[in-house]
Amino acid sequence: MSYIRLVNVTKRFGNVTAVDNLNLEIGKGECFSMLGPSGCGKTTTLRMVAGFEDLSDGEVWVGDRLLSSPKKHHYTPPENRNFGMVFQAFAVWPHMSVYENVAFPLRLRKLPAAEIEQRTKDALTATNLLKSANESPASLSGGGKQRVALARALAINPDVMLLDEPLSSLDPHLREEMRFEIKDLQRKYGFSIIYVTHDQSEAMALSDRILVMKLGVMQQIDSPLDVYNNPANKFVFSFIGVSSFTDVVWQSGAACIKGDNRPLPQGLVVPARMQGEAVFNLASRPTEIRFTNENDINAVRGVVMRKAFLGEIIDYLVKIGDQEVRVQIGRRDPGPETGEVCYLHFLRPFWYKVDE
């Protein structure tokens, strides 16, 4: 059931279209991520939902409340939208104690003193901050500050939580920990999340569904596993994790990797739609390639350019023709040495036209 609805939402800055005719339906209690490189319009979209940016066109609804609609001259200011929001740079107020930061939105709502205290304490307990309640946020670490921001957003018990790259300012270890905390809080409180990030693994780990955006245009909306397994296009494939794109050409009727005159093995079937393409791409992920032997019907011959032992994994750069492919195997898996000839089995090849 859809709860937050974006209908034909468009945002233009001068001649630049930052968000182009976006339609979204996000369910109650859903964790929805907007993923894309910087400048793809994800933050602008979030800020339109929050009310910090006007819409150039379209409508934003939450439940049966219309929040923004330039056509109907309707605009609810952010302070009346009753959302929780967490920002990348923490945005906790350094002149207030942790407790006062969290109590602030409740005081604005003129709740009875006892209730303010109760709800502030609840939010602080949920974020493990109760013992720091009287401290200044400046004395907390980055993770601590972001907890304060979370608690402050939680305190009003919002139906919708907007998170704008909330973990990018934290170190990797903390980022993972906070990711789990956000997920746990969502389970406990049941709010909907709109989460903006440029980190695909963060989006994958947190979300029920992911929107992938590029230059203001929606590329794919799907569950994390579907985005990974069935990327809608070349851009989505390249954006989800490490990837290699190998140029393939037709040579006297047979598909060959560019610079290599051996036809691709019979196990590696080129889809029919690539017929007639001068150059097209074989796309692969380093974890979905295995070393095999010459006699395998899937074997593509290459030479190991570089082998790097990275602890848990061993990272290879393999040259086929004049193309390079990344391969990663587990540290206990057998693999060739630098300079050796090797044979690759593409376990899950994807095929794309060059400009797809």
Binding site for another protein (CB under 8 A): 43, 47, 50-52, 77-85, 87-89, 91-95, 104-105, 108-109, 138, 149, 152-153, 156, 162, 165, 169, 180, 200-201, 204-205, 224-225, 228-229, 240-242, 285-288, 306, 308-313, 315, 317, 330-332, 347-348
Separation of alpha carbons 7 and 58, rounded Å:
5
Q: How far is the CB of 343 from another protein (least distance, A)?
A: 19
- Sequence letter at residue 350: F
Backbone phi, psi, residue 118, to 5°: -60, -50
Residue 258, classed as helix, strand or coil, is coil
Residue with smaller CB distance to another protein, 145 or 280: 145
**Please, which residue, 179 or 255, has the CB nearer to another protein?**
179
What is the closest distance, in whole angstroms, from the C-beta atom of residue 185 to another protein in the complex?
15
DSSP state of 344: E
Phi, psi of 140 (to 5 degrees): -90, 160
Least Å from the CB of residue 84 to another protein: 7
To the nearest whole angstrom, how small is the minimum distance from the Cβ of residue 256 to another protein? Answer: 26
Nearest-CA neighbor of 92 among 52, 127, 116, 125? 127
Shortest distance, position 85 Cβ to another protein, whole Å:
4
Closer residue to another protein, CB minimum distance, 133 or 255: 133
Q: Which is nearer to another protein, 7 or 91 (CB)?
A: 91
Q: How far is the CB of 83 from another protein (least distance, A)?
A: 6
- Name the nearest CA neighbour of 302 among 244, 250, 345: 345
How far apart (Å, rounded) are the C-alpha atoms in residues 121 and 99? 8
Nearer residue to another protein within complex by CB, 37 or 63:
37
Residues 213/36, Cβ–Cβ less than 8 Å: yes
For residues 109 and 262, which CB has a smaller minimum distance to another protein in the complex?
109
Sheet architecture: strand order including 31-35: 84-86, 160-164, 192-197, 31-35, 209-214, 217-222
